[in-house]
Structure 1
Amino acid sequence: MASEDSISSNPLLQNFEFPPFDIVDAHHVRPGIRALLQQLEAELEQLEKTVEPSWPKLVEPLEKIIDRLSVVWGMINHLKAVKDTPELRAAIEEVQPEKVKFQLRLGQSKSIYNAFKFVRESPDWKTLSEARQRLVEAQIKEAVLIGIALEDDKREEFNKIEQELEKLSHKFSENVLDATKKFEKLITDKIEIEGLPPSALGLFAQAAVSKGHENATADTGPWLITLDAPSYLPVMQHAKNRSLREEVYRAYLSRASSGDLDNTAIIDQILKLRLEKAKLLGYRNYAEVSMATKMATVEKADELLEKLRIASWDPAVQDLEDLKNFAKNQGAAEADSLTHWDITFWSERLRESKYDINEEELRPYFSLPKVMDALFGLAKTLFGIDVVPADGVAPVWNSDVRFYCVKDSSGNPIAYFYFDPYSRPSEKRDGAWMDEVFSRSRVMAQKGSSVRLPVAHMVCNQTPPVGDKPSLMTFREVETVFHEFGHALQHMLTKEDEGLVAGIRNIEWDAVELPSQFMENWCYHRDTLMSIAKHYQTGETLPENVYKKLLAARTFRAGSLSLRQLKFATVDLELHTKYTPGGTESIYDVDQRVSIKTQVIPPLPEDRFLCSFSHIFAGGYAAGYYSYKWAEVLSADAFSAFEDAGLDDIKAVKETGQRFRNTILALGGGKAPLQVFVEFRGREPSPEPLLRHNGLLAASA
């Protein structure tokens, strides 16, 4: 047992202004979470005894319980994602079932559920604000989806399923991380990596040094290739050595699909349990459960995916023809039989030739400090906010992490956020994400203030600084930072004070990507891009002709890139609607079947991409990957409001930006997203702006 002393000094249990990320360690997790759950259990029992269908006696005490758990669990879960250790993993794994058990107990509380139903059915219902009505309806719906209405034995079965699913998704993502880390290819002969740019060679040498080859340099090697994105992508784009590309591609594609790290059985079990859960709740399949909290229905999602697929197919077929012809003209032996490990390489060559753009030559124009300055400048223009460095105000988990304060036009702080930019393959999961630390809340305000301010994380995995050079980014990495900042803005600029529906909370999942994808559009806006693109050594601005080429290249291979996303979305829906776990068709058969209509080059028979498809097996996108496309329709249409107003008319841009801030960014989960969109745009969304931006409009006409 943990002693009273160790409990009282446990950083997870302190009242903190900002989480003590610098001192929380694996050994705090077991005693800290257990003591917290004990406290919350007592608070829940007290609430159930005293609950009344009123805000102070129902919602406020409930929010305190939900918030405390999400803040503390969020803290250790975040550390697992950015500073993973075997000890931290083991500790989280041990207490996780206890945490899930408490969440189920809370979500299935009959007295709380009945109190919410009473509020919903009372004559005072119409006097509640729209945000409060949404909050009540969300609580009732969540309770139903967490099994409140099930008989005791059914509820027990449901709870077992929830526990098992939580465990499986953690195991899935650990296997992906471990499999990604496991692959290392040491190269000593420079001929093998011909074509790779200096930035990649510098990164490979840095990786070799970290593995004990202390004399490794970019020029003389040795070079260590891993499956981490900043390492994997340059190999696929630039390595002239076709067999190296094949080896790295096959390794990437088969991650977590064999031996101790094989996710195949885990996927089958996840799908089986999700289907059982859906049936217990009275749904036909898991996709219907997923859609119960989204804007779309299964039919509407299918309809959109098919419409976009038809618009993308012929352009994608043409993309491949163009590549074959180009490779043939370059005298490539493989021109007539281009396959998966050739596409990225030859696309990059064709892009360089067609638009005379070399990704690597652009890097010096995109140094991280300049990119962030321009991003914050854009936020000031559009939304009237100032983002100022606040390093040292809050503890951080790594010395590379930056901390910022967001201020309104009067100079008052309205939010804070952390930014962790660089790839750290040994301890940090790949990808990029934004998450909440605190949500805005009236109930959780500290003494002396009327509201607790929102705090967010932004995490990326971009190329770290090499030697004395700053982090020099690819254009895609620039888009990623803009994307994650869009999510953060919706969390931070909310004006909603009801904590359970503030910021990104309670926003239908298929609308969540709207502000993030909206922000990406600004990377192509001339004034914005020119304010970013300054050479890190000379300060010279990106030449005008290069900007024009970047703009022209925006629709390069748009059909192929669109199909790729549509394939992910379609296979996700298929697995959660028509697939029968344990039936005659395997998960890989489903993948192959979907690919017939969504991949111009059929996947390899041994393709195992599903084994690392974390979005749907370890993230929140199960039967929801279509949300990216759904929200892309919304975001392209939202950006077209700025195009209609005139992108060069600064007054019109500011007015439209203010309207975007007051609707999409301010209303949070307190209003239905379709209503919020109509309030901003003046009409319902249309897919036309998306097809136009992607150069696919003619194909769909």
Structure 2
Amino acid sequence: MKWTVVTSLLWLSSTNAFSSLVVGASRSTPMKHFSASTASTEPTTTTTTTNPFLLQEDLPQFEQLEPEFLTPAVETLLVAMEEQFTALEERLSSDTAITYNQVLPEIERIQFPLGFVWGVAGHLNSVKNGETLRQAYEQNQPKIVQSMSRFSQSKSVYDALQSLTSTTRPQQRAIDNSLRAMQLGGVGLQGADKERFNEIQMKLAQLSTTFSNNVLDETKQYALTVEDVAKVEGVPESAKALWAGAHAAFTNTKVDPAQGPWRITLDMPSYVAVMSHMKDRVIRETIYRAYLTRASECSSDAAKNNIPIIYETLKLKAEMAKLLGFANYAELSLASKMAPSVEAVTELTDLVAERALPAAERELEEITALARAQGGEEYRVEQLEKLQPWDVTYWSERLKESKFELTEEETRPYFALPEVLDGMFALVSRIFNIEVKAANGEAQVWHPDVSFFKVYDKATNQHIASFFLDPYSRPEDKQGGAWMDVCIGKSEAVNRHVPVAYLTCNGSPPVGSQPSLMTFREVETLFHEFGHGLQHMLTTVTVGDVSGINGVEWDAVELPSQFMENWCYDRATIYGFAKHWETGEPMPEEMFQKLKQQRVYGAGMMSCRQLAFGQVDLELHSSFDAEAGEKGQGESIFDVQRRVAAKYTPYLLPLPEDRFLCSFSHIFAGGYAAGYYSYKWAEVMSADAFSAFEEVGLDNEEAVRQVGMKFRETVLSLGGGENPMEVFKQFRGREPSPDALLRHNGFA
């Protein structure tokens, strides 16, 4: 099958993914929900000058934000917004000659104060979660949803938008995006259909919040204490120190990392350490099963079971789609993305799988052979037909170590977070001509771990952006994963000219006197999120609806983030930060070469895993009958998961009791419903974009700088102000090709 088919499929559609401000702020991750401390949620009488949520001239006043301030802030702003919007509707209905400036900029100004409050609240929910402020959020969420429905279903606004034309591309994109967002927001519905649509919107928001809270609660409530030193034989010192620190914090005692006890939790650094390095199979299996059954019927608290939430979510989304005239929710989702159809996504998935699946099967065969050769009697063929899921990562690490004679623990000392940041900032300085400066103390933060930075254009020495960095895992109150989110967007309408981003990771925290010593994957993750941040921060578009990541099609938004990961294998970049944290010695040349060789290690299995997730997502939101599945009259959600796995990961099927879907927050508590495929879709563009640098020679400093500035002036600058296909063609001079993706993954 010719790969040119992929190109023809990838670029048929030019629709947009992110809603305009007519229906709420756009962001690279879903709007999050507010909770922080344990103060009372009872409304408190406050004024504009005393309520910190209402102090919006500068950055959020994180040190003053308390839960009792949320409700009065929301209620105050809702009243003002309703009055202003009613007046706007009256003007639009009476005016005969309406201009662009009378509509979208005015709506943006009306919405900004409440959007500011709700955005800050959502961020705190993710990074400083607490039960009491959850209640404050849930009290206000229905009011917010109802208010946004009022905007998206305004006939006078819709009619006004239809009459508009603009002389600038960003303004026209904002108009087109807003019209489509209003259509998908129910502006065309009447009577009972409109009422039901709004009920669904409200319920889906509640379900998303509950799903996310359940996953967080189930993650942080689990722990396994290990006291036997023999059980941690072979575990790296960094992992033992992490677990010992967790036990010390939990018991308020002093713990020797070498002697224990060790407290293993389900947050990502702890979980990955077990799967990668714990020799004891029983412990690996225990932790694996605990992780894969979070927020399911296996929970000790029935209220934390996400299975009913998944079914209800799927049923409501299917009903919503039909009210809007779509056959299923996947069609509704794709109406605002680059991909033209479910069939097109599936065909791309199958084309990649054709190359990835044979590689994945070979990889697992090698891993299994090593386990049987070195694992002892329990791994012999007669005892074990195949490796279990909790075996694969462990033996994959052993195989990688044997192939490349390099362990993760050997590289950690060369990836201290402060030096990695310096190196990452040096990279963007040389290719994008910007300077990042630490500015701690110039902004209030929500936790002592958080740092604040300012970004300057080196050509003008102008302060053009800022960002917060929250780098470490905090399982007690911080959601897992990594993300970039919008703090403040660039917008002429609301007089905000310096965009501000949140960059959040869940990396390895410092231990004792050691700084955070990162795994190489954590380094890649940091670069990934910084890529998202750069598209937000380096935008030159001043139309708020399409500035930065706003208005970027969802299946294109991962382009700059995945693009940045490629620089982790670039010599000049790596040697800008890979220095031993104690001695200052640079990483040995042999170690760097081995890191580069490891790049395609396991690429087959990783690609197949991503393809399977994307197809499960699509099937659940397109052909799956949730009503029948819930009643046991058809496939269950887990039947779909297993059937898709049989096609894309037949070498390693889920356990019958696997409940991964119950913690699949991307699609059930985030913005990736019928859109998880976007990672692979955008990877075609990101790999091709990086190949432009490879073609001029990564060691050709001047040529790399020129290509970097072109990337900044197109992909990072134009953001959602132009169709992503046109943006890519401006950078590359042609449409994307999958060749670089295949080469980078070792499938060429």
Task: Work out whether the TM-score is over 0.5.
Answer: yes
Which residue among 718, 723, 740 is the counterpart of 1:672? 723
Q: Deviations over 1:55-77 (max 9, x none)?
A: 23212210112332322101011
Which residue among 76, 79, 90 is the counterpart of 1:49? 90
Paired residue secondary structure (1:577): coil
Do the aligned partners of 1:483 and 1:516 also contact (CA within 8 Å) in 2? yes
Partner AA of 1:500 in structure 2: D
Which residue among 471, 494, 513 is the counterpart of 1:421? 471
Give, in whole Å, the separation in 2 of the partners of 1:349 and 1:396. 41
**2:612 maps to 1:567:** yes
Structure 2 counterpart of 1:239: 278
Which residue among 433, 452, 456 is the counterpart of 1:407? 456
Moved more, 58-67 or 230-239: 58-67
Paired residue secondary structure (1:342): helix
Q: State the superposition RMSD in angstroms.
A: 1.2
Give, in whole Å, the separation in 2 of the partners of 1:507 and 1:551. 32
Do the aligned partners of 1:50 and 1:57 also contact (CA within 8 Å) in 2? no
Using the TM superposition, give the Cα deviation of residue 541 of structure 1 relative to its aligned residue in structure 2, in angstroms.
0.7
Paired residue secondary structure (1:675): helix
Paired residue secondary structure (1:511): coil
Structure 2 counterpart of 1:289: 332
Do the aligned partners of 1:434 and 1:484 also contact (CA within 8 Å) in 2? yes
Q: After superposition, where does 1:154-173 map in structure 2 within 5 Å?
A: 154-173=193-212
Partner AA of 1:295 in structure 2: M
CA gap of 1:43–1:468, structure 2 versus 1, over 3 A, is same
Which residue among 200, 204, 227 is the counterpart of 1:188? 227
Using the TM superposition, give the Cα deviation of residue 325 of structure 1 relative to its aligned residue in structure 2, in angstroms.
1.5
**2:513 maps to 1:468:** yes
CA gap of 1:335–1:382, structure 2 versus 1, over 3 A, is farther
Structure 2 counterpart of 1:21: 62
Give, in whole Å, the separation in 2 of the partners of 1:220 and 1:671. 58
Do the aligned partners of 2:46 and 2:72 also contact (CA within 8 Å) in 1? no
Q: After superposition, where does 1:571-590 map in structure 2 within 5 Å?
A: 571-583=616-628, 584-590=634-640
Structure 1: segments with no counterpart, 5+ residues: 120-124, 446-450
Structure 1 counterpart of 2:265: 226
Paired residue secondary structure (2:467): strand
Partner AA of 2:488 in structure 1: F
Using the TM superposition, give the Cα deviation of residue 331 of structure 1 relative to its aligned residue in structure 2, in angstroms.
4.5
Q: Deviations over 1:420-449 (max 9, x none)?
A: 11111101000000001111111111xxxx
Q: Deviations over 1:147-171 (max 9, x none)?
A: 0001121110000000000000000
**2:491 maps to 1:491:** no
Q: After superposition, where does 1:474-553 map in structure 2 within 5 Å?
A: 474-553=519-598
Paired residue secondary structure (1:15): coil
Q: Deviations over 1:528-561 (max 9, x none)?
A: 1111210000011111111111111111111001
Structure 2 counterpart of 1:352: 401
Paired residue secondary structure (2:256): coil
Structure 2 counterpart of 1:134: 173
**2:302 maps to 1:264:** no
Which residue among 644, 661, 666 is the counterpart of 1:615? 666
Using the TM superposition, give the Cα deviation of residue 215 of structure 1 relative to its aligned residue in structure 2, in angstroms.
2.6
Using the TM superposition, give the Cα deviation of residue 129 of structure 1 relative to its aligned residue in structure 2, in angstroms.
0.8
Give, in whole Å, the separation in 1 of the partners of 2:204 and 2:537. 31
Give, in whole Å, the separation in 1 of the partners of 2:739 and 2:431. 24
Using the TM superposition, give the Cα deviation of residue 586 of structure 1 relative to its aligned residue in structure 2, in angstroms.
0.6
Alignment identity in percent?
48
Using the TM superposition, give the Cα deviation of residue 5 of structure 1 relative to its aligned residue in structure 2, in angstroms.
4.1
Using the TM superposition, give the Cα deviation of residue 13 of structure 1 relative to its aligned residue in structure 2, in angstroms.
1.5
Give, in whole Å, the separation in 1 of the partners of 2:696 and 2:191. 58
Q: Deviations over 1:454-510 (max 9, x none)?
A: 110000111110111000000000000000000000000000011111000000000
Structure 2 counterpart of 1:250: 289
Do the aligned partners of 2:239 and 2:270 also contact (CA within 8 Å) in 1? yes
Partner AA of 2:738 in structure 1: P
**2:711 maps to 1:660:** yes
Partner AA of 1:244 in structure 2: I
Moved more, 24-33 or 45-54: 45-54
Do the aligned partners of 1:487 and 1:515 also contact (CA within 8 Å) in 2? yes
Do the aligned partners of 2:207 and 2:313 also contact (CA within 8 Å) in 1? yes
Question: Structure 1 stretches (4+) deviating beyond 2 angstroms?
Answer: 1-8, 65-70
Do the aligned partners of 1:12 and 1:28 also contact (CA within 8 Å) in 2? yes
Do the aligned partners of 1:186 and 1:225 also contact (CA within 8 Å) in 2? yes
Give, in whole Å, the separation in 1 of the partners of 2:557 and 2:103. 28
Do the aligned partners of 2:44 and 2:68 also contact (CA within 8 Å) in 1? no
Q: Deviations over 1:570-592 (max 9, x none)?
A: 10001011100122111011001
Do the aligned partners of 2:56 and 2:113 also contact (CA within 8 Å) in 1? no
Give, in whole Å, the separation in 1 of the partners of 2:185 and 2:323. 10
Give, in whole Å, the separation in 2 of the partners of 1:331 and 1:517. 36
Paired residue secondary structure (1:143): helix
Partner AA of 1:480 in structure 2: T
Do the aligned partners of 2:234 and 2:277 also contact (CA within 8 Å) in 1? yes
Report how many residues are paired.
Answer: 686
Paired residue secondary structure (2:453): strand
Q: Which has the higher helix share?
A: 1
Q: Using structure 2 for the length normalisation, give the TM-score.
A: 0.90
Partner AA of 2:363 in structure 1: D
Paired residue secondary structure (2:479): coil
Moved more, 67-76 or 327-336: 327-336
Using the TM superposition, give the Cα deviation of residue 327 of structure 1 relative to its aligned residue in structure 2, in angstroms.
1.7
Do the aligned partners of 1:7 and 1:31 also contact (CA within 8 Å) in 2? no
Structure 2: segments with no counterpart, 5+ residues: 1-41, 629-633
Partner AA of 2:357 in structure 1: W
Paired residue secondary structure (1:303): helix
Q: Which has the higher contact order (CA 8 A, sep 6+)?
A: 2
Give, in whole Å, the separation in 2 of the partners of 1:335 and 1:107. 62
Q: Deviations over 1:250-285 (max 9, x none)?
A: 000101112321100000000000000000000000
**2:488 maps to 1:438:** yes
Do the aligned partners of 2:321 and 2:332 also contact (CA within 8 Å) in 1? yes
Using the TM superposition, give the Cα deviation of residue 184 of structure 1 relative to its aligned residue in structure 2, in angstroms.
0.7
Partner AA of 1:249 in structure 2: Y
